[in-house]
């Protein structure tokens, strides 16, 4: 089948869903364009900042469009492109976009509270503490997976015969790394300019594009060729500052500039498919069982991850975006619209993987996607080196934009976990744990330890935890909508399906980790190949986290179900 036809069909379905189903949800729940949003009411110039609707959309999309929609869709294609496409479309429209919009809506209607605080209000303090611990553990997994991927993307060295030497892609990776660093620097400059002159419209776009071009020029002429460990340290230093600095100073301007790159990447891929219109070379369906991944249920659903539904998105919606929405009418495009666009990105990634150059693609998911889109840019006369640097940077930006958001969310979750109402008279240890800098350092240190597991090994656990988080958020939204007298029936099918999928996947992952440890214990590990320490890090840590996630998830589900049963419809006046 022609890949262009697949993309066009997907685009029509997704856009139609936004216009019809998205607006139906907004009308069903109620949008008040005259209401005072939390960003306006609690404007503090740091977390609560009234922001232009499209800028908030840029932040939301840049933060949620991480590695998931590209990596997940391509990995899951092992089951065939048709099951992946169907789940992206169905999941994106009825699961992911609804959850993202619902989380944003509930937060804005509750004074910009994070999902943890919303749970405390509607389910109880115990439920909130358990949820915050679950969220914090989840952010560690995301930080570990994405940080390891970024460091590996910029790595300029390879090992040959036991010796480390510059790889063939050293110049490209080094240039992309330098572009990323300059992006961070120019983001701060852009933020300061915005703070002083409050640019908007074409003026804001021109300044952003100028800084993007400047970053690429400097990166191409002054590449930094470093090893994976060095880039890992740089990545964690960056996300530390992204987690503690005011939103307007680094994160918002960086997200705004990154959105232009994402648009160029998506447009380039789409135009490439239009011009080359290659055939889809992936099989339509390969069967229910896959030798490498396992059974299609539940693995397909948790592997596609962010392209269809993601609990992480809800943390962004309620943790950062809800505090910057200046008008309630912007919530639909920010919450529902950003997810719809991400689903389209996942479809494009699937098509690029299936037929980047008219032949079946091989390699890792990101290599496939980068090589395919870079090839499309070359068709339009873009130099090979520049096209490759651009796509390498785009690939890393997918992870970096999620990293800086999840680091801030992880820090906030850790602080909320130990905070009390009267922090002024709290114990010294509690004040220390709730300190912005201390909580950020603890979160990042734990995430750094988990990077030793490796991106590829931790992805299945990330996918399972991510989808379970979305189910827990949907359950909370059911309670919120019930007590405020709003319809919640559309949430029950996604809730039931995601609970079944995620608990099955986590149990399967737990069993796999136990078997891996048992196998390692029953054989003699060859000298120089592995150690018991590496076996524990790769499997033992995952086993501990998986068991914790299952236990915490069950506790939250039980508590939430009890709260839902006890709650009375329309018992709280709708905001």
What is the full DSSP assignment across 18-75?
IIIIIHHHHHHH---TTSPPHHHHT--SSS---B-HHHHHHHHHHHH-SSHHHHHHHH
Q: What is the mean pLDDT of residues 32-50?
A: 90
What are the pLDDT digits (tens) for 47-87? Answer: 898 989 988 998 888 778 877 788 889 889 989 999 999 99
Please give the C-alpha separations between residue 507 and each of 382, 511, 512, in angstroms, as whole numbers. Answer: 48, 6, 9
What is the pLDDT, as a whole number, of residue 9? 95
Q: What is the pTM of this model?
A: 0.85
Helix H, strand E, coil C: the string for 334-399 is HHHHHHHHHHHHHHHHHHHHHCCCCCCCCCCHHHHHHHHHHHHHHHCCCCHHHHHHHHHHHHHHHH
With bands split at pLDDT 50, 70 and 90, how would you rate the model's confidence at 359?
very low
State the Cα–Cα distance between residues 26 and 45, nearest whole angstrom: 29
State the Cα–Cα distance between residues 72 and 514, nearest whole angstrom: 25
Query: Which of 62-71, 121-130, 253-262, 435-444 is least confident?
Result: 62-71
Element (H, E) at 242: helix 228-244
Element (H, E) at 475: helix 455-483
Inform me whether the pLDDT recorded for 324 exceeds 90.
yes
Mean pLDDT, the chain, as a whole number?
88
What is the pLDDT, as a whole number, of residue 513? 86
Higher pLDDT, 354 or 209: 209
In this structure, are residues 331 and 105 in contact, taking their beta carbons and an 8 Å threshold?
yes
What are the pLDDT digits (tens) for 452-477? Answer: 887 777 877 888 889 999 999 999 99
Query: Position of tokens 């619209």?
Result: 337
Provide the token pair at 542: 């995952």
DSSP string, 95-138: IIHHHHHHHHHHHHTTTT--HHHHHHHHT-HHHHHHHHHHHHHH
Q: Tell me if residue 462 falls in helix, strand or coil.
A: helix
What is the pLDDT, as a whole number, of residue 396? 80
With bands split at pLDDT 50, 70 and 90, how would you rate the model's confidence at 575?
low
> Is the bond leading into 298 cis (omega within 30 degrees of zero)?
yes
What are the pLDDT digits (tens) for 535-559? Answer: 666 778 888 888 999 999 999 999 9
- 255-258: long-range pairs with CB below 8 Å, 24+: 255/58, 255/59, 255/62, 255/63, 255/401, 256/55, 256/58, 256/59, 256/62, 256/190, 256/204, 256/208, 257/183, 257/186, 257/187, 257/190, 257/208, 257/211, 257/212, 258/58, 258/62, 258/183, 258/397, 258/401
């Amino acid at each position: 089948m022609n890949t262009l036809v697949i993309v066009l069909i997907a685009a029509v379905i997704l856009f139609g869903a936004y216009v019809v189903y998205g607006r139906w949800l907004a009308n069903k729940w109620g949008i008040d364009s005259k209401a005072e949003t939390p960003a306006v009411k609690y404007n503090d110039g740091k977390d609560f900042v009234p922001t232009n609707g499209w800028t908030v959309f840029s932040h939301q999309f840049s933060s949620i469009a991480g590695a998931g929609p590209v990596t997940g869709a391509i990995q899951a294609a092992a089951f065939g492109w048709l099951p992946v496409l169907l789940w992206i479309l169905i999941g994106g429209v009825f699961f992911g976009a609804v959850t993202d919009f619902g989380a944003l809506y509930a937060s804005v209607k509750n004074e910009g509270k994070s999902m943890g605080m919303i749970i405390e209000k509607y389910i109880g303090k115990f439920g909130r503490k358990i949820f915050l611990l679950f969220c914090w553990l989840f952010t560690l997994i995301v930080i570990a997976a994405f940080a390891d991927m970024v460091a590996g993307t910029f790595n300029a060295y390879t090992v040959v015969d036991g010796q480390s030497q510059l790889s063939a892609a050293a110049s490209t990776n080094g240039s992309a790394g330098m572009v990323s660093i300059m992006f961070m620097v120019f983001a701060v400059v852009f933020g300061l300019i915005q703070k002083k002159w409050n640019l908007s419209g074409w003026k804001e776009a021109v300044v952003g594009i100028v800084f993007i071009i400047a970053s690429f020029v400097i990166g191409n002429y002054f590449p930094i060729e470093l090893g994976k460990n060095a880039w890992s340290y740089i990545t964690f230093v960056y996300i530390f500052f992204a987690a503690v600095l005011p939103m307007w100073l680094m994160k918002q301007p960086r997200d705004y500039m990154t959105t232009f790159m994402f648009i160029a990447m998506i447009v380039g891929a789409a135009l490439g498919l239009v011009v080359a219109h290659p055939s889809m070379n992936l099989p339509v369906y390969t069967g229910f069982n896959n030798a490498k991944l396992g059974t299609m249920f539940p693995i397909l659903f948790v592997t596609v991850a962010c392209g269809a539904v993601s609990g992480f998105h809800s943390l962004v919606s309620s943790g950062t975006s809800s505090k910057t929405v200046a008008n309630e009418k912007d919530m639909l495009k920010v919450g529902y619209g950003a997810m719809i666009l991400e689903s389209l990105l996942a479809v494009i990634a699937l098509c690029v993987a299936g037929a980047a150059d008219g032949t079946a693609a091989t390699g890792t998911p990101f290599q496939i996607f980068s090589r395919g889109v870079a090839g499309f840019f070359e068709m339009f006369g873009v130099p090979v080196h520049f096209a490759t640097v651009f796509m390498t940077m785009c690939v890393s930006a997918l992870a970096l934009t999620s990293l800086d958001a999840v680091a801030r969310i992880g820090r906030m979750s850790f602080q909320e976990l130990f905070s009390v109402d009267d922090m002024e008279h709290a114990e010294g240890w509690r004040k220390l744990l709730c300190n912005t800098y201390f909580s950020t350092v603890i979160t990042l240190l734990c995430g750094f330890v988990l990077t030793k597991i490796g991106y590829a090994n931790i992805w299945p656990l990330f996918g399972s935890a991510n989808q379970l988080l979305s189910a827990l958020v949907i359950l909370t939204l059911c309670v919120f909508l019930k007590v405020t007298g709003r319809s919640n029936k559309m949430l029950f099918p996604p809730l039931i399906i995601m609970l079944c999928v995620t608990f099955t996947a986590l149990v399967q992952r737990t069993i796999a980790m136990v078997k891996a440890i048992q196998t390692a214990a029953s054989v003699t590990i060859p000298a120089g190949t592995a150690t018991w320490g590496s076996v524990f890090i790769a499997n033992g840590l995952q086993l501990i986290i998986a068991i914790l996630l299952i236990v915490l998830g069950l506790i939250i589900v039980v508590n939430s179900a009890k709260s839902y049963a006890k709650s009375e419809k329309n018992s709280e006046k709708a905001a």
